[in-house]
C-alpha cells in the first residue's frame, strides 16, 4: 500500500517536472528519428554547478544528442546576483530572466533544467562564507532531493571540490555539496522526510569536468598526468541535423543574453576531460555508463519494448514518419502495462510526443485573454488536427484544475481541422501566476519554497491546462497542453504567451525610492490596474505615522478589465532623518490587495509575470546638492540617472555619437554608466573630447568597468589599470585615507555611518595600479585580505577633475542607501579648485 502511494506520488512529481510550459515543438523527420533513439536509451547524467552559464553546453549537448542520455543540469542558483546587459532588472527579477534563458538553452541542447533554493547573493570568495549564507543543510537537501528524483547514473561536477578560494565560493560549494550528496542520496537516514515522496538512489560514479583552464594554461595541462582522466570526443557532426556538437552548444550558450554570452560554434575534433572522483571506477574508459545496463532490460518486463523500439528505429521512414504510428501505439500500450516505476513515467511522456510528431497531431488550447482573475470564466478555443492517415478520434477534453470532462467524439480526419470552444471555470482558490520561489519572502541566501514537491522545478508552475483524450488506432491516449494566449505582432509574427492568473487589482507606485532632501512635501503617483470589469474601491498609501499622507484614501472605479488610472498622494516627511517603506493597499469589498504586477518581456524568453508587494522606500535625508547639470552616458544599463533626478539634478542621457565639445558645453559633469568602456565601442574615439571637457574645468565620473574587453586602454587621462579586486562584504569597515578631502566633506560630511546598510557588495573591479596623479580616498577589504585602495580615485586634470569609482553605486542608489547618495553628491560637486598634492594630505 505504502509502495503504491509512493509510486503515485512519484508519478505526480514527474508529471509536474516534465510538463513545464513551452511553445509547441514541431520536430522534423530527422529530429523525430533522434527522439526514437532516445526512447531506447535508459541512462541519466546530472551536471552540477552554481550559476546559469557555468554549465558546459558542449558536454550537455553531447550527452543528450549523441549518447541519447537524459541529461540534467542542476544550477544551484538562478543567477540573481549578476549584472544585466539587456535591461534594468536586477536581483530576483534577473533570476527570473536567467531561469528562462536556461530553459531556452536546454530546449536547444536537449538537456533538462533544475535549481535548488539557493539564492545567488553576490560574489563570494570562499565556500565557507557561501555555505553559511546559503544554509548548507538546506541546499544539500535540495541537491539530494534532485538526485533522488532524477536518479542519475553519472554525476559530473563543473568545479573542483578540492580548491576552495581559487574561484567563486558558489562554484566550489556546488562541487563540495555534490560530493556529499553522492554519499547521502542512498542513505535513508539522510533527509528522511523526502522519502515520503521519493526513494533513495545511488549514482554509480561522479566526475569532475576539468579543462586546461583549471591548470592555468594549455601547456601545463598538456604536460599534466592524465591517468585518472577520461577523454571524450565531443566534436561530433550530426549529419541529419546538419550541425556540429559545438555549433549546437554555441546556440545554447547564446541563450544567455542577459549575460552577453553570445557564442560562435566551431567544428572538428574536440575533447572533454573528466576526472574520476568517486564510485565505481571505469575499467575500459570507453563509456561513462560502463557497467550500467542502459537498455530496456533495465525495467522489469521492458525487454520486448526495447526490441519493438529497435524495430521502429530500423524501419523508420524519413519520408513518412506516420508509418511508425501503429508500432509506436503498440509500444505505448506495452509501456502502460508495466508496473509503476521511474522509467515508465518518463518514457510514456517521450513516446506520446513522438506519436504526436509522427502524425502531425497539433493540439492547442488558446485563451481569449492574456489575463484572468481567480473565480472567473475563461473562454478557450481548442484546435485539434491530425495530419496523417492514422485513424484518430478526439474523444473528450478535460479542463484542469476543474477536472471537467467534455465529450466531443469527433473523428480527426487527415488534415481536417477541428475547432471547438469551451468555457473554463477558474476556481476561486487558484494561485496567481508567478515564480513559485518568489511567493514567500526568502532570506539573503535562500528562497522559501513551502511545498517540497515544488523544489527543483525550474519554471513557473502554470495550473490551467487542457487534456485532449485522443483515440489512436483504438487506444486512448491523453495529451496535456498548458493554456496559451497568443496574438500576431505585425513585425515579429506569432507571439506566444501563456494565460496569467492575476489579482482583481494591482497597483504600481511610480517611484521605488523617494528622497526628501528637506521637509518639503512631494506628490507620489500610484497606477491602479483592473484585473476584471467593474471594480470599485479605495486606495491608501500606508506609511508610519510620522510621515503625513493626504488624502487618507482615494476612491477609484474602473469599468473595464485591463484599464488603468493614476492617483496622487501628497507625502510630507518628518523633520528628522527617517527611512520608511510605504505600501500601496487597495480595498475592494473589504478584501485587501497589495500586489504590484511586473511583466518581463524580451524576445528570447517567454513573457514572465512577477507579483511583488507594491511599495516605495521613503527617505528623509539631509542631502546637500548643488545645481550641476549632468550628462549621462549609458553603459551596460543601470538606474543611476533616475536616482540623480531624485536628488534634484538635471540629467540628460547623451548618446556616444552625440559627444562633441559643443554638446558638452552646457554640462558641469559627465558621468558614464556601469561598464560603459566594456560595452560602448564608440567611446573609444571620444576620449579626447571628454578629457578636454575635464581640462576646461569640468568633472568626469567613471563608474566601474571590468577587466575584459575594454574598448580603449586609455579610460583615464593618466595611466590607470583595472584589476579584479573587489570588496564583497557590503559592510566591510571603510577607512578614510584623506579625511580632509572635499569628496568626504563637501557639501555633505561623510562619516563611517554612511557605509552602513550597503547591499550585496561594496564595490568591484577596483584599479590596483594607477598614476600618482590619482588620490585614493577610501580603503577597505574583505576579512583576511590586504587593503584595497582603489574604490574612489580622484585626479585633477587641467582645471577639472577626473574620478574613477568601482563603488557599487548602481546597486545602492536604487536600494535607497543614504550614504551612497551623499558620496555621489560630493563627487558631483568636486570643484575645479581641488588640486591638493598627494603627499601633503596622505595620512
Enumerate binding residues for Zn ion (CB under 5 A).
Answer: 51, 54
For residues 788 and 779, the answer to whether their CB atoms sit within 8 Å is: yes
For residues 625 and 829, the answer to whether their CB atoms sit within 8 Å is: yes
Q: Which is nearer to Zn ion, 54 or 247 (CB)?
A: 54
H or E element, residue 538 = strand 535-542
Residue 79 C-beta: closest distance to Zn ion, Å: 8
Q: Which is nearer to Zn ion, 174 or 808 (CB)?
A: 174
Q: How many residues does the chain have?
A: 843
Q: Which is nearer to Zn ion, 51 or 347 (CB)?
A: 51
Residue 762 C-beta: closest distance to Zn ion, Å: 21
Residue 603 CB coordination number (10 Å): 8
For residues 473 and 391, the answer to whether their CB atoms sit within 8 Å is: yes
Q: Which is nearer to Zn ion, 54 or 371 (CB)?
A: 54
Distance (Å, whole) CA 97 – CA 183: 33
b/e map 162-184, b = 16+ CB within 10 Å:
eebeebbbbbbbbbbbbbebbeb
Nine cell digits for residue 211? 579543462
Q: Which is nearer to Zn ion, 124 or 324 (CB)?
A: 124
DSSP string spanning 744-769?
Answer: GTSSS---GGGGSS--S-SEEEEEEE
Residue 697, judged by CB atoms within 10 A of its CB (0-12, 13-18, 19+), counts as middle
Q: Which is nearer to Zn ion, 51 or 811 (CB)?
A: 51
Nine cell digits for residue 44? 541519466
* Strand 578-588 to 591-593 pairing: antiparallel
Q: Which is nearer to Zn ion, 43 or 82 (CB)?
A: 82
Distance (Å, whole) CA 260 – CA 674: 14
Q: Which is nearer to Zn ion, 54 or 638 (CB)?
A: 54
Residue 132 C-beta: closest distance to Zn ion, Å: 19
What end-to-end distance do the CA atoms of the chain give, in Å?
Answer: 77
The whole-angstrom distance between residue 839's C-alpha and the CA centroid of its chain comes to 47
Residue 169 C-beta: closest distance to Zn ion, Å: 10
Residue 134 C-beta: closest distance to Zn ion, Å: 14
Nine cell digits for residue 133? 549564507
Q: Which is nearer to Zn ion, 54 or 628 (CB)?
A: 54
Residue 261 C-beta: closest distance to Zn ion, Å: 11
Q: Which is nearer to Zn ion, 51 or 741 (CB)?
A: 51
Q: Which is nearer to Zn ion, 79 or 537 (CB)?
A: 79
Residue 168 C-beta: closest distance to Zn ion, Å: 6
Distance (Å, whole) CA 705 – CA 673: 9
Report which residue's Cβ sits closest to Zn ion: 51
Residue 254 C-beta: closest distance to Zn ion, Å: 17
Distance (Å, whole) CA 376 – CA 378: 7
CB neighbour list of residue 518: distance below 8 Å, 6 or more residues apart: none
Q: Which is nearer to Zn ion, 82 or 816 (CB)?
A: 82
Residue 729 C-beta: closest distance to Zn ion, Å: 19
SS3 680: coil
For residues 543 and 618, the answer to whether their CB atoms sit within 8 Å is: yes
Cα angle for residues 149, 155, 156 (degrees, 5° grid): 140
Q: Which is nearer to Zn ion, 117 or 686 (CB)?
A: 117
Residue 172 C-beta: closest distance to Zn ion, Å: 11
b/e map 441-453, b = 16+ CB within 10 Å:
eeeebbbebeebb
Residue 156 C-beta: closest distance to Zn ion, Å: 15
Q: Which is nearer to Zn ion, 151 or 167 (CB)?
A: 167
SS3 2: helix
Q: Which is nearer to Zn ion, 53 or 594 (CB)?
A: 53
Q: What is the DSSP letter of 780?
A: B
Q: What is the DSSP letter of 630?
A: E
Quickly tell me which residue has 482558490 as its cell.
429
Residue 522 C-beta: closest distance to Zn ion, Å: 41
H or E element, residue 811 = helix 809-812
Residue 581 CB coordination number (10 Å): 13
Integer CA distances (angstroms), 269 to 34, 219, 233, in order? 22, 19, 7
Q: Which of 88, 176, 112 is nearest to 140 (CA)?
A: 176
Residue 705 C-beta: closest distance to Zn ion, Å: 20
Integer CA distances (angstroms), 707 to 711, 712, 721, 747, 770, in order? 11, 11, 9, 33, 14
Q: Which is nearer to Zn ion, 94 or 484 (CB)?
A: 94
Beta bridge mates, 617:
513, 581
Distance (Å, whole) CA 827 – CA 810: 15
Residue 480 C-beta: closest distance to Zn ion, Å: 35
Q: Which is nearer to Zn ion, 51 or 148 (CB)?
A: 51
Residue 93 CB coordination number (10 Å): 20
Residue 171 C-beta: closest distance to Zn ion, Å: 6
Residue 83 C-beta: closest distance to Zn ion, Å: 13
Residue 174 C-beta: closest distance to Zn ion, Å: 9
Q: Which is nearer to Zn ion, 165 or 739 (CB)?
A: 165
* Strand 493-498 to 484-489 pairing: antiparallel
Residue 788 C-beta: closest distance to Zn ion, Å: 22
Classify 473 in phi/psi space as left (phi over 0), alpha (psi -120 to 50) or beta: left
SS3 452: helix
Residue 157 CB coordination number (10 Å): 26
Amino acid at each position: 500500500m505504502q509502495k503504491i502511494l509512493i509510486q503515485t506520488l512519484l508519478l505526480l512529481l514527474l508529471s509536474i517536472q516534465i510538463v513545464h510550459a513551452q511553445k509547441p515543438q514541431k520536430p522534423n523527420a530527422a529530429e523525430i528519428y533522434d527522439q526514437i533513439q532516445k526512447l531506447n536509451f535508459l541512462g541519466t547524467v546530472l551536471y552540477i554547478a552554481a550559476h546559469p552559464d557555468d554549465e558546459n553546453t558542449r558536454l550537455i549537448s553531447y550527452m543528450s544528442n549523441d549518447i541519447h542520455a537524459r541529461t540534467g543540469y542542476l544550477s544551484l542558483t538562478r543567477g540573481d546576483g549578476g549584472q544585466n546587459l539587456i535591461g534594468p532588472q536586477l536581483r530576483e527579477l534577473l533570476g527570473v530572466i536567467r531561469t528562462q534563458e536556461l530553459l531556452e538553452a536546454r530546449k536547444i541542447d536537449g538537456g533538462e533544467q533544475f535549481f535548488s533554493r539557493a539564492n545567488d547573493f553576490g560574489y563570494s570568495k570562499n565556500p565557507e562564507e557561501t555555505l553559511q549564507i546559503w544554509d548548507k543543510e538546506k541546499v544539500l537537501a535540495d541537491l539530494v532531493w534532485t538526485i533522488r528524483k532524477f536518479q542519475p547514473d553519472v554525476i559530473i561536477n563543473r568545479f573542483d571540490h578540492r580548491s576552495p578560494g581559487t574561484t567563486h565560493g558558489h562554484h566550489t560549494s556546488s562541487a563540495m555539496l555534490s560530493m556529499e550528496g553522492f554519499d547521502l542520496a542512498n542513505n535513508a537516514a539522510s533527509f528522511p522526510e523526502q522519502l515520503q515522496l521519493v526513494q533513495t538512489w545511488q549514482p554509480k560514479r561522479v566526475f569532475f569536468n576539468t579543462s586546461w583552464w583549471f591548470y592555468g594554461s594549455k601547456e601545463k595541462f598538456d604536460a599534466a598526468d592524465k591517468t585518472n582522466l577520461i577523454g571524450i570526443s565531443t566534436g561530433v557532426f550530426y549529419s541529419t541535423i546538419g550541425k556540429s556538437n559545438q555549433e549546437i552548444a554555441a546556440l545554447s550558450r547564446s541563450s544567455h543574453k542577459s549575460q552577453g554570452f553570445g557564442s560562435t560554434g566551431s567544428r572538428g575534433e574536440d575533447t572533454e576531460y573528466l576526472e574520476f572522483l568517486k564510485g565505481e571506477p571505469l575499467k575500459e574508459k570507453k563509456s561513462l555508463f560502463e557497467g550500467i545496463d542502459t537498455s530496456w532490460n533495465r525495467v522489469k518486463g521492458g525487454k520486448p519494448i526495447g526490441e519493438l523500439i529497435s524495430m521502429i528505429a530500423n524501419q523508420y521512414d524519413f519520408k513518412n514518419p506516420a508509418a511508425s504510428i501503429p508500432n509506436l501505439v503498440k509500444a505505448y500500450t506495452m509501456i502502460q502495462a508495466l508496473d509503476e516505476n521511474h522509467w515508465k513515467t518518463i518514457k510514456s511522456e517521450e513516446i506520446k510526443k513522438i506519436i504526436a510528431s509522427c502524425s502531425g497531431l497539433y493540439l492547442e488550447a488558446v485563451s481569449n485573454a492574456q489575463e484572468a482573475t481567480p473565480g472567473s470564466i475563461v473562454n478557450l478555443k481548442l484546435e485539434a488536427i491530425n495530419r496523417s492517415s492514422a485513424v484518430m478520434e478526439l474523444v473528450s477534453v478535460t479542463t484542469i484544475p476543474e477536472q471537467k470532462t467534455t465529450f466531443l467524439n469527433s473523428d480527426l480526419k487527415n488534415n481536417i481541422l477541428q475547432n471547438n470552444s469551451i468555457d473554463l471555470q477558474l476556481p476561486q482558490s487558484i494561485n496567481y501566476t508567478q515564480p513559485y520561489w518568489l511567493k514567500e519572502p526568502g532570506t539573503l541566501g535562500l528562497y522559501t519554497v513551502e511545498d517540497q514537491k515544488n523544489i527543483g522545478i525550474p519554471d513557473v508552475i502554470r495550473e490551467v491546462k487542457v487534456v485532449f483524450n485522443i483515440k489512436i488506432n483504438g487506444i486512448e491516449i491523453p495529451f496535456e497542453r498548458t493554456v496559451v494566449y497568443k496574438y500576431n505582432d505585425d513585425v515579429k509574427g506569432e507571439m506566444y504567451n501563456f494565460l496569467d492568473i492575476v489579482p482583481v487589482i494591482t497597483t504600481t507606485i511610480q517611484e521605488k525610492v523617494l528622497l526628501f532632501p528637506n521637509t518639503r512635501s512631494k506628490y507620489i503617483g500610484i497606477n491602479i490596474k483592473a484585473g476584471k470589469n467593474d471594480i470599485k474601491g479605495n486606495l491608501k498609501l500606508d506609511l508610519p505615522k510620522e510621515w503625513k499622507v493626504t488624502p487618507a484614501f482615494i476612491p477609484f472605479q474602473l469599468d473595464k478589465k485591463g484599464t488603468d488610472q493614476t492617483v496622487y498622494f501628497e507625502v510630507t516627511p518628518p523633520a528628522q532623518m527617517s527611512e520608511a517603506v510605504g505600501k500601496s493597499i487597495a480595498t475592494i469589498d473589504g478584501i485587501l490587495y497589495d500586489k504590484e504586477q511586473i511583466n518581463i518581456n524580451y524576445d528570447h524568453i517567454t513573457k514572465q509575470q512577477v507579483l511583488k508587494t507594491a511599495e516605495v522606500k521613503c527617505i528623509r535625508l539631509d542631502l546637500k546638492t548643488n545645481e550641476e547639470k549632468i550628462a549621462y552616458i549609458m553603459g551596460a544599463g543601470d538606474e543611476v540617472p533616475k536616482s540623480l533626478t531624485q536628488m534634484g539634478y538635471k540629467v540628460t542621457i547623451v548618446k556616444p555619437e552625440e559627444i562633441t565639445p559643443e554638446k558638452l558645453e552646457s554640462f558641469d559633469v559627465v558621468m558614464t554608466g556601469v561598464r560603459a568602456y566594456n560595452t560602448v565601442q564608440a567611446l573609444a574615439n571620444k576620449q579626447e573630447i571628454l578629457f578636454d571637457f575635464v581640462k576646461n574645468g569640468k568633472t568626469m565620473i567613471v563608474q566601474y568597468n571590468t577587466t575584459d574587453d575594454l574598448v580603449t586602454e586609455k579610460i583615464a587621462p593618466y595611466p590607470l589599470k583595472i584589476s579584479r579586486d573587489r570588496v564583497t562584504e557590503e559592510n566591510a569597515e571603510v577607512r578614510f585615507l584623506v579625511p580632509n578631502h572635499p569628496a568626504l566633506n563637501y557639501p555633505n560630511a561623510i562619516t563611517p555611518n554612511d557605509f552602513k546598510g550597503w547591499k550585496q557588495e561594496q564595490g568591484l573591479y577596483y584599479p590596483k595600479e594607477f598614476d600618482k596623479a590619482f588620490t585614493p580616498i577610501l580603503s577597505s577589504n574583505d576579512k583576511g585580505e590586504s587593503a584595497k585602495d582603489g574604490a574612489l580615485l580622484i585626479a585633477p586634470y587641467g582645471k577639472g577633475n577626473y574620478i574613477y569609482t568601482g563603488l557599487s553605486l548602481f546597486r545602492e542608489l536604487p536600494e535607497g542607501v543614504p550614504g551612497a547618495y551623499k558620496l555621489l553628491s560630493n563627487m558631483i560637486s568636486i570643484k575645479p579648485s581641488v588640486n591638493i598634492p598627494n603627499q601633503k594630505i596622505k595620512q
